[in-house]
Structure 1
Amino acid sequence: MTSVMNMTNNVYSSDGAGVNQTVNPDYIELHLANLRLHNASLTRIKHRLDNLQRLQAKLGKPLIEATADDLATWQISLRIAPSSVATYTAHVRAFFHWAQINELVRVDPTIHLVTPKLKRRMPRPIPERDLSAALTTSRHDHQLFCVLLLAGYCGLRCGEITRVTRSDVREDENGKGAYLIVHGKGGHERIIRIAPDIYAEIRLLMHRPGRLFISKNGKAYTPNRLTQIASAHLKSIGLPYTLHTLRHRFATRLADLGADVRDVQAALGHAHLSTTTLYLASNSRRSTSSVDKLGRGLTAMVRRQPPRDRI
């Protein structure tokens, strides 16, 4: 707290005549500096910056001066999906929570902002036949092929795939399969298993140090760019899916094979079990056959019986 207050009270510039004048500090940058100290991911920092700068430009004044009425008017004016409203609101809340803790504002103006109630999301796993087509048609590009494998068979998010390095992979003692340290959202790490057949393909990318997935100019792919490449490939073969639907496929297939839901949670890197259950909401296939079998007795049950003689 003291360090932030000192930074805001001791920002000066010369007016050219030897007189120092106080300059309004960039509170957004101070907030981002705090995120960096907490090892926030570059993606999170970028999204926070984009959202806060956009709001500040709309308000026409420093964000730190926004009132509760300003923010309520801004939120009502948004013409975007409820999920996006919730995301924008979360970014603004985080900024003012930090500001209040550091005594930059007396009252948090976001306290009365409404977080939209989001509809229950249903997973949309890519069907097995379409996954097979996607993999077969990507064999000409081994990096793309391995990206699809890590999403569909290891459950990695796009951003997690871009951060994979050779040193994150530890081969199994018997040389069959490997374990991977995944650098997940919010700086959280987890260890996942790479099946032998999948590892045999990933291993071909491990001849160089550093990131496994790099562009032709030698730079690591950004999550957005890798998403675009994967989506373009799927679209080119007539499939209406994204890379994330392969992650959905991984989760639902694990459940189909009888994996415990908490094991699925750990594999996906979910902080809360409730998030995992949303991904598995469509996992009703195991009970489908039983329900169908139960219903087969209806025909016999309601089959017209020959009329009985009345007494």
Structure 2
Amino acid sequence: MTPLRQRMLEDMSIRNFATNTQRSYLQQVSAYAQHFRCSPEQLGPEDVRSYQAHLLKTRMLAPGTMAVTTSALRFLYMVTLKRDWTVDDIPMPKKPWKLPIILSPAEVAHFLECVDSLKHRTILTTAYAAGLRVSEVIHLKVTDVDSQRMVLRIEQGKGRKDRYVMLSPRLLDALRAYWRTSHPKVWLFPGQIPGQPITRATVELACQKAHRAAAIGKPVTPHSLRHAFATHLLEAGTDLKRIQLLLGHRSLSTTSRYLKVAANTVCDTISPLDALPELAPPLPRPAPPAMF
């Protein structure tokens, strides 16, 4: 490990960056250095601009991926190397604003029915019932299930934050049925490697398999169940602030995007077309004269 890599790793650890964030930033900076075949210390703003153009035009990366690279390079130069640069020297690409595609309650039920493994079905059911990220589901421990208070404890979720979410009676029944067959000890959903939880990739593969079996036209990922959780709560009249707390969002503006997809927000507004008088059917056009 080079001294620069070690220093950047220490800087991220001091700021308590998540492990995945640290790994991602190091990978992005390593790819940047490999592109120019020299240390990033020898490169400047024009080199950063050239690399961003390469990622955009040659590799055709999505704005979201470009944003991760940009954040990593900003941290490297402005924090670790303490260069007197501004954010304009490493511009952040603007990401398109996209709304999530929401599964209906009937589609969620049909999808879960198509998960053929009890363990995988319980994992995906938990993601929907509590609105959890897939990383939060797979890192649940047996002790995180509090049936006395009817809550699930989410330890060190995104942003290194703990929170509690509701434990529905129906989910508790599903977890108990799963526990009677598997008897997990530490991790609620253990993986194939002893002492480790199930991997994210395994859950995503199970989700893809169930999606094909369900033949649902909409895209379905484990995160789709989190989107459905928030939207269905909002449609049922749950307060937006409470949904924010359950999802673990830092900002209410992040949660408010579900207002744009909730049926009771969109469909309860009356279209001006419905206020118009009934329209007469269009008159049929006369047939053109026969020319032969």
Question: Same fold, TM exceeding 0.5?
Answer: yes
Listed one character per residue, the Cα deviations across residues 217-249 of structure 1 (whole Å, up to 9, x for unaligned) are 433223234223322332343333111111110
TM-score for the superposition, normalised by structure 1: 0.78
1:68 is the counterpart of 2:45: yes
Letter aligned with residue 119 of structure 1: P
Q: How does 1:100-139 map to 2 (within 5 A)?
A: 104-108=81-85, 111-138=88-115
| Greater gyration radius | 1
The residue that corresponds to 1:41 in the other structure is 18
The answer to whether 1:298 aligns with 2:276 is yes
Aligned positions of 1:143-292 closer than 5 A: 143-173=119-149, 177-205=150-178, 207-218=183-194, 219-239=196-216, 240-291=219-270
Shift in Å, 1:283: 1.5
Which stretch of the first structure deviates more once superposed, 65-74 or 219-228?
219-228
Query: Could you tell me the percent identity over the aligned residues?
Result: 22
Give the AA of the match of 1:201: A
Q: 1:92 to 1:106 in 2, by over 3 A?
A: closer
> Which residue identity is paired with 2:65?
S
Task: Give the AA of the match of 2:172.
Answer: Y
Q: 156-165 vs 44-53, which deviates more?
A: 44-53
Write the letter of the residue equivalent to 1:112.
D
Q: Secondary structure at the match of 1:291?
A: coil
**Separation in structure 2 between the aligned mates of residue 254 and residue 134 of structure 1, nearest angstrom:** 19
Taking a change above 3 Å as real, the CA distance of residues 65 and 162 of structure 1, as seen in their structure-2 partners, is farther
CA distance in 2, matches of 1:210, 1:41: 22
SS in 2 for 1:197: helix
Q: Distance in 1 between matches of 2:46 and 2:53?
A: 11
> TM-score when scaled to structure 2?
0.83
Shift of 1:286: 4.3
| Shift in alpha-carbon separation, 1:95–1:224, aligned structure 2, 3 A | farther
Residues of 2 paired with 1:167 and 1:250: CA distance? 24
What SS is found at the alignment partner of 2:267? helix
Q: Which runs of 4+ in 1 moved over 6 A?
A: none
Contact kept, 8 Å, 1:178 with 1:199, in 2: the verdict is no
Q: Is the 8 A contact 1:213 1:221 kept in 2?
A: yes
Unaligned runs of 5+ in 2: 282-292
User: Hey, what's the Cα distance between the residues in 1 that align with 2:4 and 2:88?
Assistant: 19
> Which region of structure 1 is more displaced relative to structure 2, 24-33 or 273-282?
24-33
Separation (CA, whole Å) in 2 of partners of 1:211 and 1:151? 16
Total equivalences in the alignment = 271
Q: CA deviation at 1:274?
A: 1.5
CA distance, structure 1, for counterparts of residue 15 and residue 91 of structure 2: 27
Q: Point out where structure 1 has 5 or more consecutive residues left out of the alignment.
A: 1-23, 305-311
- The separation in 2 between residues aligned to 1:47 and 1:58, in whole angstroms, is 17
